[in-house]
Amino acid sequence: MKQITLSLKGAVALEKAIDTVKKEMSRGSYKTLLFHIYSGVEDESVIRAVTGRLSMSFPDCHFVGTLSAGEIVDKHIPEKGIAVSAMFFETTDIKVLRGVDVKGNEKVVGMKLAEEANAIPELKALELLMPGTEFNTHILLDELAAVSPDVIIYGGYSGGHQLEKSEHYIFDENGIDDNAIYAIAYYGKDFHVQVDKSAGWQRLGMPFKVTKAEDNRLIEINNAPAVEVYEKYLQINRNDNFAEETFEFPLMASMDGEELLRHTITVEDNGTLVLAGYVLEGMDIYLSYGNPEDIIRKVDHRLEEVEMFNPQAILIFSCSVRKAFWENFAEIEIEPFAEIAETSGFYTWGEVKRNPDNGRLYEYNITMLTVAMREGDAEPLENRYRVDDTVLKGQVSLLKRLSKLVAATTGELQKAYLDLSLLNEKLEVMADYDALTGMYNRRKIEERIAYLLGEMKKNGTVLGTIMVDIDHFKEVNDTYGHGIGDEVLSILGKLCIKEVKERGGNLGRWGGEEFFIVLPGYDEEKTYEFAELLRKKVEETAFPCIDKLTISLGVHMAMENESRQEMYKKADDALYISKQNGRNRTSVI
């Protein structure tokens, strides 16, 4: 396998590129030729001229193209132009699967592509190119997860150099399409591929909750217009340059342990943020910032993996926001990969990678996907290629120092927030639960009863209630002391909680040795049966120092026309009958 990368500037450069590819084809015994075309030029007539000329010169080749926000030609990121990668394979086969009319049909298109991919023998990798911001990518990617789990899947979204423009399309020998997806299938027993991502952005401050979202439209955060997170915390107002001003502080969410960065494409009049990637309601989401030191560390870690793989060609799909972040130093994270093998790729509007552990496909922003390829086996490289960050000067150097300060203070703030959250949880437990028995306290059980009565009246269901009293509990305290009495209450509380929760009920401590139980959906017969079961279990339970402990119970069915106070009195009256008749029994009113 071999890759040649070429930068096209004008008709002469195109003819030289064609001549270079023809010479390589004549030198080697190649089976398959695949072209990638990455175009920063948005003029469709220029794109058609290039694709037409290549198709004419290499009628048996495969090729795919995408609009790009930056072109990668080996070690360099040339000025806005057209880059071509020619990949020569000796034993590997290529098949380009095409899904068309995707918008509104994401599920059907995804299912069809997965079915076609699964029919390809010895399929090793599936590379996706698409104008992702135009689709419901969440649905599409979920369907593509049906591709055999041992197949590596990765890709990038098309988009031009200008963030404020909505040009997103892919192209091939048949023309240009903004409503399609290409899936390039690599198959053959000698083909090997390794893919991973590098990020390096870190959380900033405390989490917010996504309270309203539709696909890639983030509508509300913490029940307020999403734009306010930037207006309030970073003083970035919704103006014409909003996307450019916010890209340094993208949002970070997580799903299944995957960190998902999201940068803003635009802001709508109502404060909705249109993101380069989907978000889901209920997600925790953070502001984040790029830490140059951490970015470089993660790229260096990826370089170690690529060295061990020893590829013959490398593809890079890197987010356009990374390029803007590095400004004039963007090449520093590209160059070391090009030292390992010929490298090509483009700056994207989003990246896709399959998680090998769960088989799902995730949509990323602000990551750099590096795709290492080779045919046959190879020994690990002995050279150590690393990012040379000594060239960083000016603002980037200052940012490195500021990032360390922000990381330290953010860590302290997050720890304080966690400590406060744990304290709030403890306070909530203290506010709602009886410390001795573990049951709800009187306030909380009355709150639950009010809710369940409302549900009963609204839905026409039944609600069983039970008042419970420990027989002769004063004698336990007087004879054995309050320490034993407290232990008895604790053991009895655990027993009652277990039995009531198993039946979907609630219970609370009503008074000193009185408990109140509510059982949604239980009629009189079932409520009485449960009361008797509980009574017998208590009678059979061993308590410290006491030969035998019993309880008396009063059962009453909540009535639609009675108040809570009337319901409590009926249950208490039933309990009184049990006590008057000798205790250790259940009575019904």
Residues forming a β-bridge with 220 = 212, 225
Q: For residue 471, report the phi and psi dihedrals to the nearest 5 degrees.
A: -70, 130
Q: Which tokens is 547 given?
A: 């030969």
Q: Which tokens is 422 given?
A: 């744990």
Would you tell me the crossing angle of helices 292-309 and 394-432 to the nearest 10 degrees?
100
Instruction: Provide the b/e sequence for 211-229 (b: ≥16 CB within 10 Å).
Output: bebebbebbbbeeebbbeb
> CA 540 → CA 337, 528, 535, distances in Å?
73, 19, 9
Which residues contact residue 358 at a Cβ distance below 8 angstroms, ignoring those fewer than 6 apart?
256
Find, among 184, 193, 194, 195, the residue nearest to 32 by Cα: 184
H or E segment and range at residue 145:
none
Helix, strand or coil, per DSSP, at residue 434: coil
Q: Which tokens is 453 given?
A: 């009565």
2 in Cβ contact with 344 (< 8 Å): no
In 320-442, the DSSP E strands lie at: 343-348, 351-354, 361-364, 368-375
238 in Cβ contact with 296 (< 8 Å): no
Task: Round to whole Å and give the CA distance between 38 and 18.
Answer: 16
Q: For residue 587, report the phi and psi dihedrals to the nearest 5 degrees.
A: -125, 155
337 in Cβ contact with 388 (< 8 Å): no
Q: For residue 540, report the phi and psi dihedrals to the nearest 5 degrees.
A: -90, -5
In single-letter form, the type of residue at position 572 comes to D
Any idea which residue has 């088989």 for tokens?
359
529 is an active site residue = no
53 in Cβ contact with 173 (< 8 Å): no
CA torsion sign for 206, 210, 215, 219 is negative
Q: For residue 523, report the phi and psi dihedrals to the nearest 5 degrees.
A: -85, -175
Task: Round to whole Å and give the CA distance between 159 and 178.
Answer: 10
Any idea which residue has 């590096």 for tokens?
370
Question: Would you list the DSSP string of 405-423?
Answer: HHHHHHHHHHHHHHHHHHH
Given 428, 513, 525, 540, which residue is catalytic?
A: 513
> CA 85 → CA 37, 71, 82, 416, 447, distances in Å?
7, 11, 10, 51, 68
Helix and strand totals (H; E) in the chain: 15, 30
N-term to C-term CA, the chain: 86
Task: Round to whole Å and give the CA distance between 352 and 174.
Answer: 25
Catalytic residues: 513
